[in-house]
Amino acid sequence: MASDAAPDRMLDELSGYSDGPFAVVDAFVAQRARFLRYVSGLDDAAWRAATRCSEWNVHDVARHVRDVAALHVFQLGGPFPGFRLTREFDPVLTPAEWLRTSSGESPEETVRELTRLVQQEELLLRTKAAAGPDETILGALGRTLDWSVQSVHTFWDAWMHERDITLPRGEVPEYGADEMRLATMYGLLCAAAPPSWNGDYVHAGLLLEGGADASYVVTSVDGVIRVLAAPVDEAGRLTGGAGPTLDSLAGRGPELEDVLHGPSPALEQLALLRKIVT
């Protein structure tokens, strides 16, 4: 994917996305609209089909996306969804527990409720972006994040689950450059979080084919993780495909060492996220 992006776009845990929160809104709107169009056209057999989430079929994944949308609406100031993202959150067990509350729900009901939540989500997100609050939240991986970066996490989660549904069907969503960039930068930011729990921060340059930008830099400044769309030195860089790398970081497909190539210290650090989410 070619890019006309200016260099040194940045996603920073505490200062957010350098393009501003409305760029986050735009990525949300694009992904949500595409996902709703897609699931609205599925037949009964497709809803029951397997996904990359080994325990979930397509309807289970869609219900999870709906649950996370409900939680996001709550985080943005909307009504309580019936469950909270607590410190006891387990990335494998907790989402499955949430699904019990919608057991027996039809696909049509799921799509209808997700559509309602997406409309509410966009309104609340635009309102908060306009207000521009100086607000932080404890993120899903135990790091303190600007409120907008927590919203990017929700976007990335939905973006990845869309791939969980579509790729097994031989279909790859068509991403705009801005959406692909944000998903890539947050995927790398997310992967850099687990090593930080022991004070071991990732410093790596990545050349990712098929991404919105030619290369990315993962680093930290005063203990704050950030990812930049910026040139990297040839020496010591990691190379791979953007899609396979993002999938592997999130626990999908081949191991990271099979899709991303380069110096082992940074590779081993980034691979920790996969061990947590699978």
Residue 40 in any domain: the answer is yes
- Count of residues making up the chain: 278
Tokens of 197: 């729990």
Q: What percent of the chain has pLDDT over 70?
A: 94
**β-strand pairing of 144-146 with 9-12:** unpaired
**How many structural domains is the chain composed of?**
1
At 94 the pLDDT is 78
Query: 241: helix, coil or strand?
Result: strand
Report the predicted TM-score, pTM, of the whole model to 2 decimal places: 0.93
Predicted confidence (pLDDT) per residue in 204-224, tens digit: 999 999 999 999 999 999 999
At 79 the pLDDT is 87
Residue type, 49: A
Predicted confidence (pLDDT) per residue in 106-156, tens digit: 999 999 999 999 999 999 999 999 999 999 999 988 899 999 999 999 999
Residue 273: how many other CB atoms lie within 10 Å:
24
CATH number of 85's domain: 1.20.120.450
DSSP letter for each residue of 143-191: -EEEHHHHHHHHHHHHHHHHHHHHGGGT------HHHHHHHHHHHHHHH
Residue 1 in any domain: the answer is no
Q: What percent of the chain has pLDDT over 90?
A: 82
Predicted confidence (pLDDT) per residue in 258-277, tens digit: 999 998 899 999 999 998 88
The boundaries of the domain holding residue 233 are 9-277
Q: Any bridge partners for residue 220, and if so which?
A: 225
Residue 169 in any domain: the answer is yes
Res. 177: pLDDT tops 70: yes
Q: Any bridge partners for residue 219, and if so which?
A: 226
Residue 3 in any domain: the answer is no
Q: Report the distance separating Cα 227 and Cα 184, nearest Å.
A: 9
Residue 103 or residue 178, greater confidence: 178
Confidence of residue 3 (pLDDT cuts 50, 70, 90): very low
Residue 4 in any domain: the answer is no
Confidence of residue 7 (pLDDT cuts 50, 70, 90): low
Query: 91: helix, coil or strand?
Result: coil
Residue 187: how many other CB atoms lie within 10 Å:
24
At 85 the pLDDT is 59
Q: Mean pLDDT throughout 234-259?
A: 95
Predicted confidence (pLDDT) per residue in 48-87, tens digit: 999 999 999 999 999 999 999 999 999 999 988 776 655 5
Query: 21: helix, coil or strand?
Result: helix
What b/e readout covers 131-149, taking b as 16+ CB neighbours within 10 angstroms?
eeeeeebebbbebebbbbb
Residue 18 in any domain: the answer is yes
Supply the angle between the helices 147-166 and 58-75 in degrees, to the nearest 10: 170
Res. 2: pLDDT tops 60: no
Residue 219 in any domain: the answer is yes
- Least confident among 55-64, 89-98, 249-258: 89-98
Residue 103 in any domain: the answer is yes
* Short-list 150, 153, 213, CA closest to 181: 213
Confidence of residue 251 (pLDDT cuts 50, 70, 90): very high
Please give the backbone phi and psi of residue 182, each rounded to the nearest 5 degrees, phi first: -65, -40
